[in-house]
């Protein structure tokens, strides 16, 4: 089971929205081997240690994290959503 974390500034509204949408999209694609959790960005250092994928709402540099990072903005705006979803699914299936 792959663990995906989604973080925004407060860990309430935006990250919950993206996490729920991502989980729904993964379910629609038949991806069952992933759990998605919304977290507060202040807890990111703790959660990233046990996660497999980080979906970031805030700007990021891939080099800042030991796990693959994907853009959560695509799931908020819909722009580039399918491409980002495909990248996440490819990472889950590795």
pLDDT over 70 (residue 93): yes
Annotate the chain with three-state secondary structure.
CEEEEEEECCCCHHHHHHHHHHHHHHHHCCCCCEEEEEEEHHHHHHHHCCCCEEEECCCCCHHHCCCCEEECHHHHHCCCHHHHHHHHHHHHCC
What φ, ψ does residue 20 adopt, rounded to 5°?
A: -65, -45
Segment 27-54 shows an average pLDDT of: 94
Looking at every residue in the chain, the average pLDDT score rounds to: 92
Position 46 scores a pLDDT of: 93
Number of domains in the chain: 1
Instruction: Say which CATH number the domain at 72 has.
Output: 3.40.50.2300
Q: Which domain holds residue 44?
A: 2-92
């Amino acid at each position: 089971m792959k663990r995906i974390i989604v973080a925004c500034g407060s860990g309430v509204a935006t990250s919950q929205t993206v996490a729920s949408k991502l989980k729904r999209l993964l379910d629609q694609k038949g991806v069952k081997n992933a759990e998605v959790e919304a977290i507060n960005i202040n807890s990111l250092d703790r959660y990233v240690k046990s996660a497999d994928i980080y979906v970031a709402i805030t700007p990021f540099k891939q080099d800042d994290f030991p796990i693959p990072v994907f853009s959560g903005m695509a799931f908020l705006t819909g722009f580039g959503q399918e491409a980002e979803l495909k990248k996440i699914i490819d990472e889950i299936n590795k």
